Amino acid sequence: MRPYLIILYLICLVAIGAAADALNDTGMQTIGHASSAVEVGGLLVCGLVLNLQRKDVLTLLIAYVCFRMVGFDYMYNAVAGLPLEYHGESSLWDGFLSQFPHHGILFARSIFLIVGISIPFKFL
């Protein structure tokens, strides 16, 4: 049951972070900054909440980055009211992704999803 809780915790943090960025960009800075603080606070206390050892926190952060690469853009677009496949031009990540065809991006995200899911089962 524990790997499922870790995965759910990380997905919730990614969703909160994406919502925070979308709210900040759409003019709702008060709620966006509060959501961003919740995301950062959740990352800072993840070891305590999930009862991890110190050596496991870095592994957890790698899984978090994998889930962020998979779902952040989709969640951001959903909260901001944009089409789900939309890639902006504002961040370095968007500029990097816009160089690749859509099926290549989906393939890379599927690999990151597999890695993100397998880390809690194998190492945590």
Q: pLDDT tens digits for 59-82? A: 999 999 999 999 999 999 999 999
Residue that the structure tokens 């978090």 belong to:
64
* CB of 14 closer than 8 Å to CB of 72: yes
SS3 (DSSP) at 76: helix
Our count of domains for the chain comes to 1
> DSSP for 38-64?
HHHHHHHTHHHHTT--HHHHHHHHHHH
pTM for the model stands at 0.90
Give the domain range for residue 92: 2-123
Reported as a single tens digit per residue, the pLDDT across 11-54 is: 999 999 999 999 998 999 999 999 999 999 999 999 888 888 88
